[in-house]
Amino acid sequence: MKTIAVLNGPNLNRLGARQPEIYGKASLEDLHTLLQGKAKELGLALSFFQSNHEGALVDEIGRQSDAGVHGLIINPAAFSHTSIALRDAIECSELVTIEVHISNIYSREPFRHHSVTSEVATGVISGLGFEGYSLALQYLAHHLNLTQ
């Protein structure tokens, strides 16, 4: 079965409790359940990883690339705007990568308007809530011809 890696960055483990007016009331576990259902429909397996630590995310991207996953969905969260290390890890992985943001980063504080990681992503989905992850999964499945 083909596998897509789903990585989430800092504070996304606090979904549901953290600023629900921006991020909604659903938890990270709710997101996993939603994506597992979508993956099952598409005949795909998912690998989930979340960390508040930049180096752990960099290491996980390398592990997933070396393990032969077929695509990457990543929400780098605040690291989007600051992490050259994460940007380089994405670029070096050579994985087809979709960057996802739950909120619309362009309608928020000015420092959030630029993402260094999006420069090496295949595409970016911003502001569509959890639906952005589902759309990213659907794109990867069809773009990479992974559906059964």
Catalytic residue status for 101: yes
Nearest to 39 by CA among 77, 69, 16: 69
The one-character DSSP state at 100 is E
Residue 101's beta-bridge partner residues? 126
Catalytic residue status for 133: no
Distances, alpha carbon 21 to alpha carbons 37, 102, 115, in Å: 26, 12, 22
Q: How far apart are CA 44 and CA 41, in angstroms?
A: 8
The active-site residue, picked from 23, 53, 81, 142, is: 23
The active-site residue, picked from 70, 101, 114, 142, is: 101
Q: Which residues are part of the catalytic machinery?
A: 23, 101
